[in-house]
Amino acid sequence: MKRKPIFVYHALPGQEQINLQELIQLGLVNPIDLNKEPLEEQINQFFLDTQKKNRYTENVNRYHQNLSTQSIGALIQQVMNQSQ
């Protein structure tokens, strides 16, 4: 929600790995490979690369455009009304 870059080096097995793959595919997180360059270097590369930062910002903006502005209660009520 704060639109800050997210760097991930590991996910828990199962659903968290599935979630991470989805976030990577959407371009909403920056995967870190601890077997490559040092962590600091990988993070610095992101902040020094204007194209990467711009692409990340575009992806986050696109994601936020698809979020509902309705409250959780209103969404639940809508789903309940559809199932009747």
**pLDDT number for residue 83:** 76
pLDDT tens, per residue, the chain with 84 residues: 889 999 999 999 999 999 999 999 999 999 999 999 999 999 999 999 999 999 999 999 999 998 878 888 988 898 889 877
Give the predicted TM-score (pTM) of the model. 0.75
Q: At 7, is the secondary structure helix, strand, or coil?
A: strand
The DSSP annotation for 8-75 comes to ES---TTHHHHHHHHHHHHT-SEE--TTSS-HHHHHHHHHH-HHHHHHHHHHHHHHHHTS--S-HHHH
**pLDDT number for residue 68:** 79
| Residues forming beta bridges with residue 59, ordered by sequence position | none
Asked if residues 27 and 61 have their Cβ atoms less than 8 Å apart, the reply is: no
Show the tokens assigned to 34: 């601890």
**pLDDT number for residue 32:** 95
